[in-house]
Structure 1
Amino acid sequence: MRKPNKLVALIFAILASIAMLLPTSAYAAKGTNNDNGSITINNAEPEHTYNAYQVLVLESYDTEAGAYSYKANEDWADWLAKQTQYVSIDGQGYVTWKEGADVAAFAKAALAHATEAKIAAKATKTADSATVSFTGLNLGYYLVDTTVGTLCSLNTTTPNVTMVEKNEVPPVEKKVQEDSDQQWGDTSTAEIGDTVPFQTTITANKGAQNYVLHDAMSAGLTLNPESVTVAGLTKGADATSGDYHVVTSGLQDGCTFEIIFHQSYLDTINAETTITVNYTAVLNENAVIAGDGNTNMTRLEYGDGHKTVWDDTKTYTYKVDVVKTDGDNKVLDGAEFKLYDAETGGNEIPLVKVSDGVYRFAKDGEQAVGTITTVNGQLEIKGFDANTTYWLEETKAPEGYNKLAGRVQIAIKNANLDATVDGGIWQNGGVHIINNTGSELPSTGGIGTAIFYALGGALVLGAIVFLSRKRVK
């Protein structure tokens, strides 16, 4: 499993309005606004942008007396007048915070308004180190937004404030289920035609924004579109219904599907929450045999268009080489077989012809061949699951050779069963099947027919001689 990368999340810090109720300075201060405010952000994320929005202007303050005089910033005045659940504004335009109002909800609404109304930030900086500093700020009530997703505030009781970027990024983890033991892990094995379960978990935090889960499958996997579900959430037909919707067509980024989480759902997350996504895919005829396996990749897009790195799983399938020879290991052609899942009885395994001498496991609904036939004494069968056992039954032996009395075992582990044939001679590996032949059986009893053939020939010869002499006379 890959280590989770940092993911954009909007983490709301308690805004400075709380200071109007409870002083938080370590010492008393008072004064008027002289544009000497500063914000220092520690643990900043390099290459991410930080924006400071001044929602309120602080005219004057006295921390000892607990007195603060706020008015709306001109860009925010009309919007603030409508936010009566959070603030009250008197006849002179002074703003006070309503006791018990939801600070986090106010911060989220303020940021949404800033985006929608295209309100310019009072200050903007892109981090080039772990520290970002804004200086020379007009004192007030500030909201700090970052492309990492954290919201901060300026403590207006003291003009200089230090904040810490939380960087609490929900991890994204992808797993695939192994059919032999039902365990979830980074790899699995399967037969061609099997349905393979996948699972992705996102650990989301309060303030999650713009979550889109991207999933890409390699050519050997076929998604079952209706299988995509998010545990405990309601799937919508589009962005107007449910908690999320799934897109499987028209994607331009090479993804197989995308899950778009609706902001109305993300806004309900108030604590660490595990989002579990389940879906299945069929291992198909294009499956990579052994080697690099068949890949399923997932990543999360979040916030301001940022993306995590891909986390992936691998599903493997295997092939078996079958070589038919005589007792001297010379290949024999013309043998025909069927594949079963038991030494006697059992179920015939449907196979599809890929090319001469090459077959694979059939998917549901595919027309299977009756028997599989060797070419140059060899067969290749693709699509075996690991740690499985099958049995080959010979239905037709090469001409002049005895048909096998019983089925031949094929035991697959976690690798191909590859055979080496050189110059028509089996060297090693694979499933080696030997046919025997006997010499011509001897005739039984009496003198047989040979004596009659010899006697007849003598009589004919005598007649020819007699007639020749008679003509001469």
Structure 2
Amino acid sequence: MKGQVKTMKHIKKMLAAVLACAMVMAMGIGAFAASITLTDEPDKFKDDHTYNVYQIFTGDVATKTVTEGETTKTVKELQNVKYGSSYGDTGASVPKSVLDQIEDARAFADSLVKADPAVLGDPVAQLKKDNGFKAEGLATGYYLIVDTATGELKEGDVYSQYIVQILEDVSIATKKDVPESKKEITSDDHPSSEGGEANPGISGDKKTDNVSIGDTVTFTVTAKVPAHATDYDYYYFIIGDKLSAGLTFGEIKSVQVDGTDMKKKGANGVEDKDAEYALYTGADTSNNNTFEVALLKANTAAFAGKTITVVYTATLNENAVIGGEGNDNTVKVTYSNDPNNKYNGTNDETKPGKPDSTKEVPTGETPEEVTKTFTSGIKLQKIDQDGNALKGASFTIEGDSINKVVKNVETFEEASDGTYYKLKTGAYTTEAPQTEDTMVAAPAGATDGYVVAAADFDGETITVGGTKYRVVNKDETPTHILKKKNVELYEDVAKKYKKTTTEQVVETTNHISQELPVNDDGTLNFEGLGAGTYTIKETTVPDGYSKASDTTVVITFNNTTKKFTATVNGTEVSEDATTNLFPVDVKNIAGNALPSTGGIGTTIFYVVGTILVLGAGVLLVTKRRMRAE
């Protein structure tokens, strides 16, 4: 019996130990060593960077089971959170009020990066090429990763920062992107052909169309919002489009984000709080743009990293340039470009989505993409055999127009006479770097700013350049605004860049068929012609005249000079210096006077025919006489 009791005691102790282990395992609480690795993709410039790793918080990893609907899963979370070695008060418990701030990781990272470097202390590790961009043996917790890159960055490379929660080994990808945009002509009214296969419309790399005056062309503009737009309190993203005088703006057919229609501010049924973009035209635009589409929520997850597509129409009008340099249509994206978010966006209350022109708001621009609509034409002159103008005729022109599609893409190259500076974001700006805080004259309409403080003013002032300034009151007009020192935002303040343009030419084809009457002076214009071979036929002949022969016109476009040349029935003709139209004379001969070419042939036929008849008569008479004899 005693043996049984002793055995039971041992069993109870074992069960207690097992239960204790099970409880510990169930709670899943513990401190572990983890690692951070920066992945290779999509950043091809990673080898040029070194990243400092700062320990902000440490804590124990706990696992718990959560149920969402019918799904049960195990998740990890950080408990017993304490200040890390890089933050101050190392080892002290972190209050809930501070932990709540981490919910907005971007803002929290902002506050850390903008702080005095001494607050962060020394990094606990580095991620760089020499160690394979991997840091090991890190305590679980929160870490701030800061890019230390300085000096010249390669084209397209940008500065980055992250805040990461480490509960286990993690891999993160660098997020380095700048806005990109492109424009295509997508009109289904002008079918194209590539490689012998018909396409439903002009697309792909097609940046030029040859159309007739009065034709409507549909343009598609696409622009990608950078993924890091969420790093900003307010991120400007404005698609601006500028049409030449020869193109009349029609309408915005659609604005979409990744294929889904966006809500326009001011549209029926759309409340201001729900609006996703604003449309500006005319005087409300900047830089003489024809229209601007300004995103209102570009810094949200619904738009960051997504593609915006704008489809609109324009019509080639009577001001179109015939021949020459074509009719330009330019797109450019203006966007926030501050890599360290030191100047969060200030929205223009009267023009939502656009920067407040009275505030210092750094913005960048994408390289322009330009589409050009080149067009040629023919001026037909109807004349009689004496060179006098004839009216009362009509002509048709028919042929396949080979349209030259030109993609003009801007790039930036280093140049001592350049007007652009390169930022660490990879963007370019014409704003010169500020090497020190400077007061400049306030722009017209400014409501916020400074005035020179009176000598006896005893309130708060700032001293810039040896002069004291104070903030204006609500009823005052500022005389100055402060431009802060910002050289740390620039890749190299000594280097300047200029824009250069490269081109790619692609061909498309559309069929031309048109009939027009001549004017009272015997002229008519066939305009909007691309390169190709055209046949001109007289369909209505003036009374008393014979129908003119068909005329063949061959128009050629030079991809290098962007000029048209032409031949008429094999003879080269020159463009009129004023109209840029190629002259074509079509002669009619009066009905009682046969054309010189046809007349000679007919006369010869008559003479030869008469001789043959006379010869036959002579032969017949001779034979009869011979028989009679």
TM range (shorter): 0.5 to 0.7
Secondary structure of the 1:189 match is: coil
| 1:382 equivalent in alignment to 2:395 | no
* Superposition pairs of residues 301-340 of structure 1, within 5 angstroms: 301-304=334-337, 305-327=363-385, 331-340=387-396
- The residue aligned with 2:584 is 431
C-alpha distance 192-114 of structure 1, shift in aligned 2 (>3 A) = farther
Q: How many residues align?
A: 325
Give yes or no for contact 1:210–1:303 (8 Å, CA) kept in 2. yes
Residues in 2 aligned to 1:164 and 1:308: alpha-carbon distance in whole angstroms = 24
The answer to whether the 8 Å contact 2:538/2:547 transfers is no
C-alpha distance in 1 between matches for 2:84 and 2:161? 21
- Report how far residue 97 of structure 1 moved: 6.2
SS at match of 1:286: coil
Question: Residue 251 of structure 2 corresponds to which residue in structure 1?
Answer: 225
1:338-394 CA-to-partner distances (Å, cap 9, x unmatched) read: 455789xxxxxxxxxxxxxxxxxxxxxxxxx9851337xx65443346657665545
Q: 1:210 to 1:24 in 2, by over 3 A?
A: farther
1:164 and 1:42 map into 2 onto residues whose CA distance is: 13
Residue deviations 1:258-312 (CA, integer Å, cap 9, x gap): 1112226742247x54332211111111111122221211122222311111012
Partner of 1:152 in structure 2? 162
**1:214 equivalent in alignment to 2:248:** no
Q: Residue 227 of structure 2 aligns to a residue in which SS? A: coil
Larger relative contact order (C-alpha < 8 A, sep ≥ 6)? 1
Structure 2 partner of 1:278: 311
1:69–1:94 contact (8 Å) kept in structure 2: no
After TM superposition, list the pairs within 5 Å mapping 1:315-464 onto structure 2: 315-327=373-385, 331-340=387-396, 371-374=518-521, 380-384=525-529, 391-394=537-540, 396=542, 402-405=544-547, 420=573, 430-437=583-590
TM-score of the two chains, using structure 2 as the length reference: 0.41
User: Unaligned regions of 5+ residues in structure 2, if any?
Assistant: 1-29, 37-45, 62-78, 125-141, 150-156, 193-200, 230-234, 267-271, 338-362, 400-515, 558-563, 576-581, 594-629
1:177 Cα deviation from its structure 2 partner: 2.7
The alpha-carbon deviation at position 173 of structure 1 amounts to: 1.9
State the 1:194 CA deviation: 0.7
CA-atom RMSD in angstroms: 5.3
Q: Percent identity?
A: 22
TM-score when normalising by structure 1: 0.52
Cα distance in 2 for residues equivalent to 1:228 and 1:390: 40
Contact 1:319-1:381 within 8 A present in 2 as well: yes
**Partner amino acid, structure 2, of 1:382:** E
Aligned pair 1:172/2:181, yes or no?
A: yes
Counterpart amino acid of 1:23? A
Structure 1 residue 122, shift from structure 2 partner:
3.1
One-letter amino acid of the counterpart of residue 180, structure 2: P
Listed as ranges, the gaps of 5+ residues in structure 1 are 1-19, 27-40, 76-89, 125-133, 158-162, 344-368, 423-428, 441-473
Q: Residues of 1 paired with 2:31 and 2:250: CA distance?
A: 56
Secondary structure at the residue paired with 2:213?
A: coil
The one-letter amino acid of 2:105's match is A
Is the Cα contact below 8 Å between 1:192 and 1:384 reproduced in 2? no
Contact 1:212 1:260 in 2 (8 A): yes
Does the 8 Å contact 1:57/1:72 carry over to 2?
A: yes
Task: Report the CA distance between 1:314 and its aligned residue.
Answer: 1.6
Q: Distance in 2 between matches of 1:200 and 1:421?
A: 37
- 2:104 alignment counterpart: 106
User: 1:293–1:316: 8 Å Cα contact kept in structure 2?
Assistant: yes
Paired residues of 2:321 and 2:327 also in contact (CA < 8 A): yes
Change in Cα spacing, 1:21 to 1:211, as seen in structure 2 (3 Å) is: farther
Alignment of 1:184-223 (within 5 A): 184=203, 185-208=206-229, 209-223=235-249
The equivalent position to 2:321 in structure 1, one of 278, 288, 301, is: 288
> Where does residue 67 of structure 2 map in the other structure?
none
Contact 2:326 2:375 in 1 (8 A): yes
**What does the per-residue CA deviation read over 1:154-213, in whole Å, with 9 as the maximum and x for residues that have no partner?**
8999xxxxx985433453221113613213112211111111011122244533343211
TM-superposed CA distance for 1:121, in Å, is: 3.7
Aligned equivalent of 1:236: 264
Any idea what the Cα deviations from partners look like across 1:43-98, whole Å, max 9, x if unmatched? 469xxxx9x999x956x8999xx9862289999xxxxxxxxxxxxxx986378869
Q: Secondary structure at the match of 1:108?
A: helix
- 1:191-242 superposed Cα distances (whole Å, 9 cap, x missing partner): 1111101112224453334321111111111111343532412231256443
Preserved contact between residue 299 and residue 308 of structure 1 (Cα < 8 Å): yes
Aligned equivalents of 2:32, 2:394: Cα separation in 1? 83
- Contact 1:71–1:95 (CA under 8 A) maintained in structure 2: no
Return the offset for 1:256.
Answer: 1.1
Preserved CA contact (<8 Å) 1:214 1:259: yes
Counterpart Cα distance in 1 of 2:263 and 2:285: 19
Residue of structure 1 in register with 2:350 after alignment: none
Partner Cα distance (1:21, 1:312) in 2: 58
SS, match of residue 261 in structure 2: coil
Aligned partner of 2:431 in structure 1 is none
Mark the CA change 1:23 to 1:172 in structure 2 (over 3 Å): closer, same or farther: farther
CA contact (8 A) 2:53 2:144 kept: yes
Tell me if structure 1 keeps the 8 A contact 2:243–2:330: yes
**Aligned to 1:207, what secondary structure does the other structure show?**
helix
In structure 2, distance between residues paired with 1:92 and 1:123? 21
Query: 1-side partners of 2:586 and 2:387: how far apart?
Result: 10
8 A contact 2:328–2:372 mirrored in 1: yes
